[in-house]
Amino acid sequence: MSRETEEADAFMAQGNAALKQGDRTAAPEAFQAAMELRRQTLGEAHLDVADCLNALSCVSKYPANRNYLEQALAIQRMALGNVHTAVASTLNMLGTCCCFEGDFAATRDYFKQSLDIVRVTLGDTHPTVAASLLNLGTVYYLLGDYPAARDYYERALAITGAALGEVHHDNLAGSLDALGNVCHHLDDYAAARDYYEQALAIKRAARGEAHLHVADSLNHLGDIHFSLGDYAAARHYYEQALSIQRQALDQCHPVTSHSLHGLANLNLNEGFFDQAAAQLEEVLRITLLNDAFFNLPSVYAALSKLQAARGATESAIFFGKQAVNAIQHQRGRLTTLEPELQRSFLVTKEEAYQDLATLLVSAGRHDALCLRDGGGRGEAEWQRIRRVWGACAETWRQSGRREPMARRRRRYGVADAAVL
């Protein structure tokens, strides 16, 4: 082994150690140094260079992270061919990257490619196939196609249970949590809570009380109790989850967003507006720092509801527009998907359009926008909002789903006294 190769390996070890400790300054520097050495000694198209590129993607922001992964994928395909587990792994990483960007069409494409490869190379009943099915299910979940998501999750659960058995039963928990999420969105709260409690018990037995996976299930249980209106229990679960996360992660890690957002919704519902504002501002800062663009609509929508509850209509409208703009940006990336998936995605976001339209009507902003914008852009903006909301409402009606007002208030974090 040459001196340069040893140095490159040492830099990779340093980078991985820094990444494990959450040091996002030292890690990229070490990975970059390793890549430069490997390029010099092994050439641009060596698989070890692809490993460096994959590592750099983990500590980089958009669009650099996606670019690194695409370079790594090209190298792997050239060296290994299109059907190799290393190629499948990078495709999965690309899918996750695109998911954070809110590009769900690309996410689904990458995850499907990865699934096809691992089925050929590992067989239909391998645990890696279950992980790919779980990933695809999450795409359909985010797109609002809950029956398809449930199907993928159940197939993943069946494979994991049969392949790993009780010895590795912690792997079952991810599928159980995912099935709980589907049941939650279908308003089957009893089933959702049962899945979450099963997942939590498995994780505690396998990982201990203070593991990050345990915090995930605690957050899910917080969500269920929030939807049920049991705010004391919800707060207890969110606070437990946040405590675990802050002991293990830095303050700006994206994993903490779920706990903070849940606590903010609770504080908003219970009239603790200052606490809710501080928590939502922290969630927004974490979301932007980590390029978690898929989360922007829900954060902006929550900020809009907070300002509406405070009586700050102009601020509420501003954040409501930010939410709608973020959704529109995501919708612009879904045009290659089937029309029914585009519609189901819109159904999941209809509340943001409804709330913004309600705010504009209550503020009399139809005419005001026209006057302020010179009689052109404001009218066009209003018509666009009405068209989008109209299409969304029609899709909602066609789906046959109805949601009681009290439940809607709890789900979307609006205090009864502040409903517009």
Write out pLDDT tens, residues 263-296.
Answer: 999 999 999 999 999 999 999 999 998 888 889 9
The reported pLDDT for the residue numbered 366 is 62
Question: 282 with 217, same domain?
Answer: yes
Does residue 419 register a pLDDT over 60? no
Does residue 53 register a pLDDT over 70? yes
Question: 296 with 282, same domain?
Answer: no
Question: 325 with 415, same domain?
Answer: yes
pTM of the full structure: 0.84
Q: In the chain, how many domains are there?
A: 2
pLDDT tens digits for range 77-134: 999 999 999 999 999 999 999 998 999 999 999 999 999 999 999 999 999 999 999 9
**Structural domain span for residue 284:** 209-288
Distance CA 279, CA 257 (A): 9
The reported pLDDT for the residue numbered 219 is 97
pLDDT tens digits for range 328-354: 999 999 999 999 999 999 999 999 999
The reported pLDDT for the residue numbered 249 is 85
Question: 270 with 330, same domain?
Answer: no
Question: 346 with 258, same domain?
Answer: no
C-alpha distances (whole Å) from 157 to each of 31, 134, 144, 184, 202 are 36, 9, 20, 18, 14
Q: Which tops the pLDDT comparison, 243 or 251?
A: 243
Question: 284 with 388, same domain?
Answer: no
Judge whether 13 lies within some domain: no
Q: What is the mean pLDDT of residues 59-77?
A: 93
Judge whether 303 lies within some domain: yes
Does residue 155 register a pLDDT over 60? yes
Question: 346 with 266, same domain?
Answer: no
Question: 304 with 373, same domain?
Answer: yes
Judge whether 89 lies within some domain: no
Question: 384 with 316, same domain?
Answer: yes
Q: What is the pLDDT of the chain when averaged over all its residues?
A: 86
CA atoms within 13 Å, Cβ hemisphere of 121: 19
Residue where a domain terminates, one of 288, 320, 338 = 288
Q: CATH no. for residue 250?
A: 1.25.40.10
Q: What is the DSSP letter of 126?
A: S
Question: 243 with 341, same domain?
Answer: no
Judge whether 187 lies within some domain: no
Question: 280 with 354, same domain?
Answer: no
Residue where a domain terminates, one of 246, 271, 288 = 288
Question: 242 with 273, same domain?
Answer: yes
Q: What is the DSSP letter of 137?
A: H
Q: Which tops the pLDDT comparison, 88 or 375?
A: 88
Distance CA 171, CA 128 (A): 11
